[in-house]
Structure 1
Amino acid sequence: MSAALEALESAPQGTSLAENAYLLLRDRLIMLDVKPGDPINDGQIAAELGIGRTPVREAIKRLESDHLVVSYPRRGTFATGVDITQLAEVSEIRELLEPLASRKAARMASPAMRSELRAVAAAIRDLEGQDNSSQDLMRYDIQVHRLIYKASANAHLEDVLIRYDNLATRIWCHMLEKMPSVSGHISEHVDLLTAIADGDEDRAAELALHHVVSFEETIRKVL
């Protein structure tokens, strides 16, 4: 994986144990490495991460508010199912907020962030012709969206969009085997990232909306 696109498994330096556990579990749930309906064993996770159960339990509480896990009295905690019927509702919100985030990123991104956006666009362009799995390509998709949200310089908008992008990504990953390729979906990011880096707000918003709409249309074609 390109250095311009960090692996999902890595967590920012200085994060707390609970935050680190949350980020790790969240992305495993999003990518369906933890399958829908799988039990979430806090003791097993704590042992794997080499930490106590308390930070893991804190992480699980956050994941429950993200609708990624669900807890039942006397039964335990499980990864939530992937509900395809939520696609329209999730897309409706993203169609409004993704263009807003891209527009704000084009306006607010720092020079360093613009350089990073260009580097990521170049890294995605270099993927053409490579033999990348659909799962790996979806990891790129997640990182690109999170980078754009960060560049928008609005922490509240970033938080909301990460949550809905996570739900959309779970739906996408659930349907991966039915889709011939996701490379076209990923390559769309090149023009979007370039527009943001260039400060072209209208173009960035237009491309972001197209990306979200085409995502929903692609899913519906294989349903």
Structure 2
Amino acid sequence: MSAGSGLNGLSITERPRSLAETAYDAIEQMIISRRLAPGAMVSEGELGEELALGRTPVREALARLKAIGFVEVHPRRGVLVTPVDLITHLELLEVRRPLDETVARCVIARGTDQELAALDKGVAGLLAAAGARDRETYFRSKRVLHEAMVNAAHNATLTSTMAALHAQSRRFWYTYEPTASFVDCARIHAGIVAGVVARDAEMAVAGIGTLFDFLDQMTRRALDRRPLV
């Protein structure tokens, strides 16, 4: 299967991002980074003015953010940023574990050599950011790696499903993951990528098990502390 091909071998060309997608990415990042903190109330107009976008793409972006639990839309009052919920995150981890295993198996079966090389490059960037304890770069690098992994699975349903789950995870971990854990977490990701690049499903799945045990422990420890940012 060539790079940019789907399950049936047909070529998939990248399309320009829509204004709604641009708005979604920008507002999502504002919420994840807590520029829009839990409890904040904003209007479509305020967001559109800040992003230099019209109401329609902003409204479409907010509908997507509402669907993944980032905001509540209150007619005539505005848009409320929801709190980060630890119990919901534990439930999310239960859902993500088998899906991450499925992604890894799909990448092993379908990923091109070029895509596997991109995973190696992505995990190197994550390790560097973790070592520097640079929060912004660390989470940006983790997003790049996750998206590269999911895209290499060549499964549109997984792509859309994992995009929402990864966004919810990023929001939680940006708030609660201590910088002291960055290196350990990055090394576990490196082990998963090593298994995928070697096309060794057993190694990759074992690494995913280690990762989710680690994330579960960190989530439970977060019950006893305040948000870090």
The interval holding the TM-score normalised by the smaller chain is 0.7 to 0.9
Question: For 1:143-191, what per-residue CA distance to the aligned partner results, in whole angstroms no more than 9, with x for missing partners?
Answer: 22222111111111121122122222222222246x6432211232222
Whichever residue aligns with residue 47 of structure 1, its letter is E
Distance 1:96 1:78, change over 3 A: same
Retained in 2: the 8 A contact 1:68–1:80? yes
Q: Equivalent residue for 2:4? A: none
User: Conserved in 1, the CA contact under 8 Å of 2:195 and 2:203?
Assistant: yes
The root-mean-square deviation of aligned C-alpha atoms, in Å, is: 2.1
Moved more, 39-48 or 208-217: 39-48
What one-letter code is carried by the residue in structure 2 that aligns with 1:62? R
Counterparts of 1:213 and 1:147, CA distance in 2: 23
Aligned equivalents of 1:118, 1:106: Cα separation in 2: 14
Q: State the match for 2:149 in structure 1.
A: 148
Unaligned runs of 5+ in 1: 1-11
* Residue number among 19, 37, 45 corresponding to 1:17 in the alignment: 19
**Aligned AA (1:155):** A
Gaps of 5+ in 2: 1-13, 224-229
Among candidates 111, 114, 123, match of residue 112 of structure 1: 114
C-alpha deviations, 1:84-109, integer Å up to 9, x for none? 11122111101111111112112211
In structure 2, the residue matched to 1:163 is: 164
Distance in 1 separating the partners of 2:104 and 2:125: 19
Trace 1:13-52 onto structure 2 (pairs within 5 A). Answer: 14-52=16-54
What do the CA deviations read for 1:4-28 (whole angstroms, capped 9, x no partner)?
Answer: xxxxxxxx87111111111221233
Say if 1:36 and 1:82, in contact at 8 Å, map to a contact too: yes
Give SS of 1:181's match: helix
State the partner residue of 1:78.
80
Question: SS in structure 2 opposite 1:36?
Answer: coil
- Distance in 1, matches of 2:207 and 2:23, equals 34
Deviation at 1:30, TM superposition (A): 2.7
Whether the aligned pair in 2 keeps the contact of 1:137 and 1:183 (CA below 8 Å) is no
How big is the shift at 1:48?
2.3
Question: Any runs of at least 4 consecutive aligned residues in structure 1 with deviations exceeding 6 A, and if so which?
Answer: none
Instruction: Call closer, same or farther: CA 1:207–1:152 in 2, change over 3 Å.
Output: same
Match of 1:184 in 2: 184
Shift in Å, 1:133: 2.4
Of 57, 68, 71, the residue aligned with 2:70 is: 68
Q: Which residue of 2 aligns with 1:9?
A: none
Where relative contact order (Cα < 8 A, 6+ residues apart) is larger, the structure is 1
Match of 2:174 in 1: 173
> TM-score, length-normalised on structure 2?
0.82
In the alignment of these two chains, the number of paired residues is 210
